[in-house]
Structure 1
Amino acid sequence: MAKEAVLTQDNVMKRGKTLCSRCFLCGETSETVNHLFLHCKYTHHLWRIFLSLKGISWTMPRKVAEALLCWEEACVHAKDRGVYAPNCIIEREHVWGEVGAVRSLFEGPWIVCGDFNVTRFPSEKRNCRRRSTTMVEFSDFIEDMELIDPQLEGGKYTWFKGDGNNAASRIDRFLFSKEWDDSFTKINQTLLHRLVSDHSPVALQCGEWEQNKSYFKFDNWWLNTDGFVDRIKGWWESFEFTGNPDHILACKLKALKGKLKEWSRTNMGNLGTQKTQILSELVRLEAIQENRVLTEEETTLKASLLMEYEEHLKNEEIAWRQRSRALWLKEGDRNTSYFHKLANAHRRSNHIDQLVVQGTTIMDPERIKGEIIGFYEKLYT
């Protein structure tokens, strides 16, 4: 045997030797990594004791390799589920059903992560040219569970096989619910360096974006506000500047922007403030109605507030549609949730977490800014 060669089960089998491998603990089946660390009845019992001391509960039977349910209330009120899906198609379908059943028991932020042993698209598997039935079923499972599959950064594949990595695919991933997505403004799924395993670690980073100075945006829903056009006309006619026509136009537009920014911070220009006020008043009337019949004036007020709330929902949909840039969808179809997801995805894709400069990875926001500015300064000078 060559110097420094490691005598492993795989190396022995490559030399044509037949091994009778049994678990040294239970002696019932082959001693694989999954069996030794998860499936062996003795190991299983030890895990159960250890995890119960940590406040972690088992929620899956052993036939799906013991997915874990755990949560840390000090961080985020959310459910986290680790999954190892089998290679067998039938057993994998059982996994999707069991995960869905457990999901129905909980509300709030929810995340599923692990080795799913299946890809979603041909691009996630090396030398794959068609989308298989298992890929479609996995995508249907994600859609049925209303989960978000974030883009993987730092590489294409999470699993490799063979000395030359001839086989590669993305079978490890994080999936999370809309509630989880709403809990953070920045969520990155990043591929880490692979050392000895055939799987590359995947990190889910959740945090806040750096608060940059916001630029002015004209919200289309403003046009639905009563008296808005007359207000714009009044402001425009009140501005007085001298100079060339193009200079006057530029000055008026700048002054109008200032007026609109100031107005947008008022009750009439802020959707969040409007919604809070309407709901607060409706809650007050509902509390009164529990104790007595509403007066005619209160009934009229409630009807008016409900109409205002309906109008507010339309404006909210217009606002999220504009931010999502999905202008091919029609307004009025109650697609607010979809628009919200798109807008969050756009914000994530527009954010630069790290920059590689001359082989060095930079993650400090200020250094990233400096490198980008310096690059374009050299480019245009």
Structure 2
Amino acid sequence: MTKIDKAHHPDCLLQALSTTTSDHCPLFLSLEEQFHHKKRFRFELFWTKLDGFLEAVEEGWTCDMEIVDPFHKLDILLRNTAKHLTAWGKRKVGNIKLQIAVAKLVILRFDYAQERRLLSVEERWLRCTLKKLILGLASLERTIARQRSQIRWLQVGDANTQLFHLVANGRKTKNFIPALSVNGQIITNQKGKEDAFFDSYSDLLGRDVAQDHTLDLEFLGIEAVDLSELDMPFMEEEIWKVVKDMPADRAPGLDGFIGIFF
């Protein structure tokens, strides 16, 4: 056991592991500090192909009737739908990795039994069904990983699942900020990091103040441009055109809903 200064690092434990095939002893450092990634809602592309999807959306698309502000109401509707679809998706599909592992274990038992005796008709049917199930679940797992990876140049038929998972995990790790250094102080908790970012950007943006000087565009000979149409409200046709032109498998905002949902 390797000793460390417990007075300065009370939540750390440094211990030696076995040497195994080498004469060097690796050291394992464990920390009590846990970094929890906040789970975000992700609309899965395969949900639309499952039975009962529209019914699940209708059940989740609910809001308090007392809310009259349209923007607040839409936000509540999307939040409630996201929660309902997440729970519905878990019940509908379940744990894909666990199902594949269980199916492989049962098939392995049948393989062992087939070496000693002939399988019955029911056993052969179950073995064949489990193999088809594994193919379907593997394809579904590959689809989820492909959507997470966000690599546009990969073809649909590419079966390099390991690449998809590596890219998806890499993006998740890259987007996570474990700690910040502010004035020589290391900040690791979520609230402290949020405050540090807010204060930093507030200092960069500054505050709006009245200008003491301005430019005389007429004296400079610069013609004025009529920008009054920019103040006009968006037309319904313009909004629908933007929505329909969005990629079906990409989320334009932070709510997690992709283009195919709209």
Q: Normalising by structure 2, report the TM-score.
A: 0.56
Label 1:336 to 1:207 Cα distance change in 2 as closer, same or farther (>3 A): farther
Alignment partner of 1:365 out of 178, 181, 189: 189
Task: Provide the residue aligned with 1:25 in structure 2.
Answer: none
Alignment partner of 2:53 out of 220, 232, 247: 232
Cα offset for 1:326?
1.1
Contact 1:222 1:269 in 2 (8 A): no
Task: Provide the residue aligned with 2:199 in structure 1.
Answer: 374
Alignment of 1:187-198 (within 5 A): none
Contact 2:142 2:161 in 1 (8 A): yes
Is 1:299 matched up with 2:127?
no
Contact 2:96 2:141 in 1 (8 A): yes
Distance across 1 between alignment mates of 2:159 and 2:35 = 31
What is the SS of the residue equivalent to 1:216?
coil
Distance across 1 between alignment mates of 2:180 and 2:80 = 38
Label 1:259 to 1:240 Cα distance change in 2 as closer, same or farther (>3 A): closer
Distance across 2 between alignment mates of 1:319 and 1:245 = 33
RCO higher in structure (CA 8 A, sep ≥6)? 2
Distance across 2 between alignment mates of 1:294 and 1:236 = 44
Label 1:236 to 1:264 Cα distance change in 2 as closer, same or farther (>3 A): closer
Alignment partner of 1:320 out of 145, 149, 163: 145
Distance across 2 between alignment mates of 1:209 and 1:221 = 33
- CA root-mean-square deviation: 3.7
Task: Provide the residue aligned with 1:284 in structure 2.
Answer: 109
Alignment partner of 2:135 out of 305, 310, 324: 310
Q: Which runs of 5+ in 2 are unaligned?
A: 1-17, 208-262
Task: Provide the residue aligned with 1:340 in structure 2.
Answer: 165
Label 1:351 to 1:237 Cα distance change in 2 as closer, same or farther (>3 A): closer
What is the SS of the residue equivalent to 2:79?
helix
Contact 2:180 2:188 in 1 (8 A): no
**Could you say which structure has the higher strand fraction?**
1
Q: Which runs of 5+ in 1 are unaligned?
A: 1-53, 59-68, 77-204
Per-residue CA shift, 1:290-335, capped at 9, x if unaligned?
A: 4321111211111111111111111111111111211220122112
Distance across 2 between alignment mates of 1:272 and 1:347 = 19
Contact 1:354 1:368 in 2 (8 A): yes
Q: Which one-letter code corresponds to 1:320 in the other structure? A: A
Is 1:272 matched up with 2:93?
no
Q: Which one-letter code corresponds to 2:189 in the other structure? A: P
Alignment partner of 1:218 out of 16, 32, 43: 43
Give identity over the alignment, percent: 25
Distance across 1 between alignment mates of 2:188 and 2:141 = 35
Q: How many residues align?
A: 184
Q: Normalising by structure 1, report the TM-score.
A: 0.40
Label 1:71 to 1:217 Cα distance change in 2 as closer, same or farther (>3 A): farther
Distance across 2 between alignment mates of 1:212 and 1:296 = 48
Distance across 2 between alignment mates of 1:253 and 1:267 = 20
Label 1:267 to 1:313 Cα distance change in 2 as closer, same or farther (>3 A): same
What is the SS of the residue equivalent to 1:292?
coil
Alignment of 1:165-184 (within 5 A): none
Label 1:245 to 1:292 Cα distance change in 2 as closer, same or farther (>3 A): farther
**Could you say which structure has the higher helix fraction?**
2
What is the SS of the residue equivalent to 1:235?
helix
Label 1:316 to 1:237 Cα distance change in 2 as closer, same or farther (>3 A): closer
Distance across 2 between alignment mates of 1:235 and 1:57 = 55
Cα offset for 1:211?
0.8
